[in-house]
Amino acid sequence: MATNTFRLFTLGAYLFLLMGCSHQEPETKSTIRPVKVFRVGYNHLESATSYAGEVRPRFETTLSFRVAGKIIARPVEVGDFVKKGQVLAKLDVSDFQLAVQALQAQIKSAVADRDFAKEDLNRYRELLTQKVISPPDFDRHQTVYTNAQERVAALEAQLKQTINQLQYTELAADRDGVVTTLAVEKGQVVAAGQPVVKLAQLDEKEIHFDIPEQRVADIKTEQQVDVTLWSDDKQKLKAKIREISATADSASRTYRAKATLLDGQEQARLGMTATVWVASDNNNNQIIAPLSAIFTSQDQPTQQKVWLVDEANQKVNAVPVQIGVALADELTTVTGLNAGQLIVSAGVQRLKDGQTVRLPEQKTLVSGVQP
């Protein structure tokens, strides 16, 4: 009796497990995922492409000493505003003063030799007139006087050069501006031409930004653009493209552009991060889609795709697209879609080709206006 009871209990448990497995299998096959959708349309609004940039001075000069020496004073610091002619650094002048004194002594000696040679030449000129000496003797004394005269001239020129070098021991600002970089400290020995101070002029500022090579043809010099500062992105400043580099950067493969600010000189402080907005009419009448709808698969990591919804049977299929220009509200222009098509805008990574989805009650989210 106990054996029959055990067999019946085992058979009942086995049947219960089979019923549980058969109940779960159809549920897995019939999984329907709810999704958010987006009705693609045309972009008829004025759009602008944004580029991150930095506020830089139009003129920034690296100043250095024209002579070598030891720095004994550096009365400025980074961020100081300086006037034209203001002393920025000084060198030890001892050696230059000694050189001036030595040349002045040499000039006195040379002047005395020249005066003596001149008087001697005058005496020999009278002797030549009296035919006491021959012309070659007179020419020899005239040559001595000429050499003495030229030596005085050479020493005087050398003295002027040394005095100039003495004046070069003071490094002065060549324009009004602000100190942006200091490369030396007091007590340091510097060579001639070694960078000491970088001075930026504040009366003209510009934004430096990089353009990818596929967009460089859309921007022209003298083109008007808008600029917003990250410190105050509500206010738009006017600017004009002044320069576009002729060659791409070897590392980033981008082209450096410079836009001169036409207003907002006081708000735009040097080094601030800015955004340059370049208006483009080429994006009009192009299909737009949300960035969240774009995905890539593991087998094709370089191909962007979207899930296209077949509204008749509510199934999705992946179609390839190409991303264009980024727009506001996390939208982008795309090619490969037609206006009016319905695409999945959220949950794209959890879908498969041919999978059935459940659409929201409001199927169409209008993004643009069809022509």
Tell me how crowded residue 139 is: count the other CB atoms within 10 A of its CB.
12
Per-residue pLDDT tens over the stretch 242-300: 999 999 999 999 999 999 999 888 889 888 999 999 876 555 567 888 999 999 988 88
pLDDT of 7 > 80? The answer is no
The percent of residues in the chain predicted with pLDDT above 70, rounded, is: 86
Written as one letter, the residue type at 139 is D
Q: What is the pLDDT of residue 8?
A: 46
Look at residue 148 and give its three-state secondary structure: helix
pLDDT band at 170 (very low <50, low <70, confident <90, very high): very high
pLDDT(23) > 80: no
Is 60 exceeded by the pLDDT of residue 322?
A: yes
pLDDT of res. 179: 94
Spell out the domains of the chain, with CATH numbers in brackets.
31-46+285-358 (2.40.420.20), 49-57+204-280 (2.40.30.170), 64-92+169-200 (2.40.50.100), 97-155 (1.10.287)
Residue bearing the bigger pLDDT, 328 or 133: 133
Query: What residues are paired with 319 via a beta bridge?
Result: 306
The answer, yes or no, to whether residue 26 has pLDDT greater than 50, is: no
Task: Report in angstroms the alpha-carbon separations of 62 from 171, 177, 178, 179, 216.
Answer: 12, 12, 12, 10, 30
Average pLDDT over residues 106-115: 95
Confidence (pLDDT) at 12: 54
pLDDT of residue 346: 86
Other CB atoms within 10 Å distance of the CB of residue 211: 21
pTM of the model: 0.58
